[in-house]
Structure 1
Amino acid sequence: MRAAAAAADVATETDGWEAGVRRVQPLNADRVEAPQGTPPIVLLPGFGNCTADYTAPFGDEEASVAAALQRRGFRCYVLPVERKDWFKVARALLTLAYWRGASTTHPGYSWYLERVAELVDQARRETGSEQVDLVAHSAGGWLARAFIGQGEYRQGGANASEDTLGSAELEPHPAVRALVTLGTPHTPPPPDKVKDMTGGALTWVDATWPGACFAGQGVRYVAVAGRAVRGDRDADRRTLSGYAAGSYQQVCGEGHETEGDAVVPLRSALLEGADHVMLDGVFHSMSRVRTFNEPSGLPWYGDERVLDAWLHTLVRP
């Protein structure tokens, strides 16, 4: 594995860990400006998030990751998603495969991937670019891996079916130049420790297109991971370390003493074969844990203070 940036390049330790939280202030990395001809960015929301979280979080457009990217000269398209859309994932509950832990992305996540296909085509059409860069937050990252590999989504959002899923030859979507994942749970938990919360969909994606599957065919993979909270199973679940212990347990099967971004453990957010950017003191979301409508006030992956620490991976030769 290659390291695109080390934690020391992004953050400076003050007093290290305090009550399981790494109170580190990220440094302002060199500002990244989009070179001429840079492909447009298609930004993919995480599970439970909506478009506004990335375009106008808590009603503030200027504080959005989309605005920050645009200020740097990047053309940014955010997937149209409403929070209620995520209830469509429940379609998988009607399948026997889900209860057997053998789900694919169909039917629970087909709606999301179809929209990705449509937005990729729109971004290419409006900018005249042959390719796009996918920047995917949280669950959007493993869904992006499925999008890159599933041939049925190469025709502008064509409807998937059980008969076509995963039937394409092992070739990447030709319109994707790069995938940057931000706090994505890339690997399912060990089945002997905890059940895959996706009903097997994540397990299927990781087995079908393992690691940086298409790196040898021209797709650039970058996995960005935060190291901000150490899980503590004995702590009050209302604290960050207590909450993180439970979240990490669900994601990787181990929560106590595990480090991550308060939601996704470090070990799960790294992807075999990808460039890795590990950020001290950077949290999973723009929102407080357990909420979507309260700002955390803490630096997250799309924060203006953090953005340039991983954005440089899209502009290097």
Structure 2
Amino acid sequence: MALALPPLNFKPHCSSSSSSSSSSTNYRPAVILPGLGNNTGDYKKLELTLQEYGVPTVVAKVSRIDWLRNAAGLVDPNYWKGTLQPRPVLDWYLKRVDDAVQEAKELAQGGTLSLIGHSAGGWLARVYMEEFGLSHISLLLTLGTPHLPPPKGLQGVIDQTRGLLNYVEKHCKKAVYTPELKYVCIAGRYLQGARLVSDSELDADSVVSIDPAQPISDVAVVKNKTDSTSVSTIFRARFVGQGYKQP
């Protein structure tokens, strides 16, 4: 449950007519969308930090066990074909997001909202806006979200979303910055994977093409492996498996 918000602090100031009045700096409320496998409590520190900056914040109410609901997709033939769609498998998640949005709209008092999506919560925010509308949303901030589906035709690459990201790419509005809806994407480095059972090391200066139709900037480049490469780094690469770039 979201914490009760403290009352707004109004700071008096003097106008040119020397009459006193009050004003406040109003920040649009934010709704946090948890990532795959996360629960509401994982974002308590972020919620408190935003509130310290004066941003009313609501976290969508999700528990770890809730994610087991996604197992319903296993009985859908599209799961095995890699053409799974968000609905109805993820209806439960979209409903939790909508509940949080409705709570935040009351705090906004007619203003707009910000959505903050972590990991899968970022592209699920795009699904939410496509299905529920975005007239009351003016900012989508994503944290470590893969916005593009994994590349096709590369050996060992598996679409872990089973087609969900392909659906988002084809049917949801592009994740691009516009005056009406601002997108801010924050991401770190990706890990270039290696096969789990192989004696070969990562190729030096190897280039993995993502998609021939994409611009040259969408190419994953593996830097020269130096003698300082740690055993843990090699293990992580092999454990993760064949990696791919996610813009």
What TM-score does the superposition give when structure 1 sets the normalisation length?
0.54
Paired residue total: 190
- Decide which structure has the larger Cα Rg and report it: 2
| Equivalent AA in structure 2 for residue 204 of structure 1 | Y
| Equivalent AA in structure 2 for residue 52 of structure 1 | G
- The question of whether the paired residues in 2 share the 8 Å contact of 1:39 and 1:129 is answered with no
Residues 255-297 of structure 1: per-residue CA shift (max 9 Å, x gap): xxxxxxxxxxxx41x3xxxxxxxxxxxxxxxxxxxxxxxxxxx
Distance 1:216 1:48, change over 3 A: same
In the alignment, structure 1 residue 196 sits paired with structure 2 residue 159: yes
Which position in structure 2 is the counterpart of 1:205? 168
Residues 43-101 of structure 1: per-residue CA shift (max 9 Å, x gap): 1111000001111xxxxxxxx11111111111111110000111111111111111111
Picking from 164, 175, 179, the partner of 2:136 is 175
Shift in Å, 1:118:
1.6
In the alignment, structure 1 residue 186 sits paired with structure 2 residue 122: no
Shift in Å, 1:37:
2.2
| Equivalent AA in structure 1 for residue 162 of structure 2 | G
Question: What is the alpha-carbon distance in structure 2 between the residues aligned to residue 114 and residue 47 of structure 1?
Answer: 16
In the alignment, structure 1 residue 239 sits paired with structure 2 residue 232: yes
- The question of whether the paired residues in 2 share the 8 Å contact of 1:188 and 1:196 is answered with yes
Shift in Å, 1:212:
2.1
Distance 1:138 1:237, change over 3 A: farther
| Structure 1 segment 102-117 matched on structure 2, within 5 A | 102-117=83-98
What TM-score does the superposition give when structure 2 sets the normalisation length?
0.69
Structure number with the bigger relative contact order (C-alpha 8 A, sep ≥ 6) is 1
- The question of whether the paired residues in 1 share the 8 Å contact of 2:193 and 2:240 is answered with no
Question: What is the alpha-carbon distance in structure 1 between the residues aligned to residue 90 and residue 234 of structure 2?
Answer: 31
In the alignment, structure 1 residue 97 sits paired with structure 2 residue 63: no
Which position in structure 1 is the counterpart of 2:188? 226
C-alpha RMSD of the superposition: 2.6
| Structure 1 segment 34-53 matched on structure 2, within 5 A | 36-53=25-42
- The question of whether the paired residues in 2 share the 8 Å contact of 1:231 and 1:245 is answered with no
Which position in structure 2 is the counterpart of 1:9? none
Which position in structure 2 is the counterpart of 1:85? 66
Which position in structure 2 is the counterpart of 1:291? none
Distance 1:129 1:226, change over 3 A: farther
Unaligned ranges ≥5, structure 1? 1-34, 56-63, 155-172, 253-266, 271-317
Question: What is the alpha-carbon distance in structure 1 between the residues aligned to residue 165 and residue 191 of structure 2?
Answer: 24
Shift in Å, 1:191:
2.6
Distance 1:176 1:83, change over 3 A: same
Which position in structure 2 is the counterpart of 1:294? none
